[in-house]
Structure 1
Amino acid sequence: MFKAEPFVTRVAFAASDRPEAQDALKDLTARYGQVPEDQAQVIVALGGDGFMLETLHRNMGAPKPIYGMNRGSVGFLMNEYSADDLLDRINAAERAVIHPLSMVAVDIRRRQHRALAINEVSLLRQTRQTAKLRISVDGKVRLNELSCDGALVATPAGSTAYNLSAHGPIIPLDAKVLALTPISAFRPRRWRGALLGHEARVTFEILEADKRPVSAVADNYEVRDVLEVHVAENRDISLVMLFDAGRSLEERVLAEQFSS
């Protein structure tokens, strides 16, 4: 962890469409002013975790530090909301640097779809039929057939999201590890997933794709009727989130492992 660059004075505010986020936007811009995002040193995102992900995706091409404040329903990636002393909080904040996953999905028409995921890339069955997946890591088949509702690859930052709900492991940010987690595995029933090095390249092949259609989702970007999906960490992109001193993302991930 290292400190945010000092003397931040130019801030751009972005808010979700929730009434409490819009009210906060009016209050904060009246207090601190507003500059365009391309002129800002820091972007302040007002909303929940979904809006934080939306803001990160929107700034993927020219990433700037993003400081979130919770004005939504879920706020794991957000700081507590307060309109007071905002610039002091930002200047004292700690940085969390994360790298997204790159997804390349090939559909049944052999078209390629590319997307980035900050939390996870997930494969999900589209109908009542169980999905059947073949999973390879770095070109070697590791699981010839997994019957399941789906499977996902999660980043450390995303390990406390859908991955945790699917009973996957919580991963410290600095672990250089990705989680490969099944979703409601039917056969092999006892397979609980795997931890992979962050340089691993994962390939999912959809078996019986016509009978058992599967969709692939990179955060909120969905591709339906896929034949195969390739997932790897993209180290060329670094995204920065700011957290109040003593409330770093690493601390939150660690604390989550001891929560009841």
Structure 2
Amino acid sequence: APMCPGLWPSPFMILLACVNMGSRGFLTEVYPDDVEAALENMLMGDYGVEECIKVASKSLDTDDTYPDALNEILISSSMPSKMLDMRLSIDGVHIMDIQADGAMVATPTGSTAYNLSAGGPIVKPGVEAMILTTICPYSYFRSVVVPTDSRITVELIKPRAEGIVIADGREYAPIKPLSSVEIWKSEHTTRFVRFKPFYERLERRLIFRKVR
């Protein structure tokens, strides 16, 4: 991300500078001991801005909309350990009918979260893409990376299988059998203050661990 010439790139832009109080901290790159130094850098304008897309979703049967997600929208079974029979479509084109524990549409930001644990690819924030990934599919299915002008539909195709919509790890609404959820790029974004480039954060916090 480009460095900011001033304190705030826009009077209407809200930037998030997050402090890592946990273990992974991929989105929260500032540690508690580094807060003062981070604030000094921000006051001097010595930081970058990473603008992250979100995904929006709605029920095609009721037209109900769900909260935007920074990481992923997940469609999962309402019953623990039960698989869902789903029909996956992109831009109205049928891709595959599949049995799986669930399906998600992740953003580049979310590509290093649940998507990665489910075998999906890492996508650098700033890439205009979304990732369709299934959870523990019964048959072979690789993640699909699509442009952000795509519309992804997940349809439940069994008459007695109910699902749930989960936005960023929070259960939001039930999905009735034989109904569909559509997912697309939201018009809203989230902006993070960044002090280190993406691949350095990736190496330090997540993937490319050095062998000691």
Provide TM-score, normalisation by structure 2.
0.83
Q: CA RMSD in A?
A: 2.3
1:218 to 142, 164, 167: 167
Deviation at 1:113, TM superposition (A): 3.0
1:176 Cα shift? 1.9
State the SS of the aligned residue for 2:182. strand
Choose from 114, 122, 137 the match for 2:66: 114
Q: Give the unaligned 5+ runs of structure 1.
A: 9-40, 42-61
| Alignment correspondent of 2:20 | 70
Aligned to 1:103: 57
Q: Shift in Å at residue 198 of structure 1?
A: 1.9
SS of the aligned residue for 1:151 comes to strand
Alpha carbons 1:115, 1:218 under 8 Å: kept:
yes
Whether the aligned pair in 2 keeps the contact of 1:123 and 1:150 (CA below 8 Å) is yes
> Aligned partners of 1:251 and 1:233: how far apart in 2?
27
TM-score normalised by the chain length of structure 1: 0.69
SS in structure 2 at match of 1:159: helix
Residue 4 of structure 1: how far off its partner (Å): 3.0
Percent of aligned pairs sharing the same letter: 24
CA distance, structure 2, for counterparts of residue 73 and residue 63 of structure 1: 29
Considering fraction of residues, name the structure with more helix: 1
The C-alpha deviation readout for 1:121-151, integer Å capped at 9, x for no partner, is 11111224320000110011111x1101001
Contact in 2 for aligned 1:122/1:216 (Cα 8 Å) = yes
Name the residue aligned to 2:3.
3
Asked whether the equivalents of residues 199 and 233 of structure 1 are also in contact (C-alpha less than 8 Å), the reply is yes
Deviation at 1:7, TM superposition (A): 4.1
In structure 2, relative to structure 1, the CA distance for the partners of 1:95 and 1:134 (3 Å cut) is same
Whole-Å separation in 1 of the counterparts to 2:91 and 2:183: 10
Query: Which position in structure 2 is the counterpart of 1:28?
Result: none
Say whether 1:166 aligns with 2:114. Answer: no
Are the counterparts in 2 of residues 138 and 200 from structure 1 also a CA contact under 8 Å? yes
1:139–1:259 CA distance, 2 compared to 1 (3 A): farther
Could you say what secondary structure the match of 2:112 adopts?
A: coil
Q: Is the 2:203–2:209 Cα contact (8 Å) retained in structure 1?
A: no
TM superposition outliers: structure 1 runs of 4+ over 4 Å = 253-257
Structure 2, unpaired ranges of 5+: none
Deviation of the 1:221 alpha carbon: 4.8
Q: 1:133 aligns with which of 49, 73, 86?
A: 86
Number of equivalent positions? 199
Q: Deviations over 1:179-238 (max 9, x none)?
A: 11110001xx22122111121110111111x4221111121252113421110012x323
Higher relative contact order (CA 8 A, sep 6+): 2
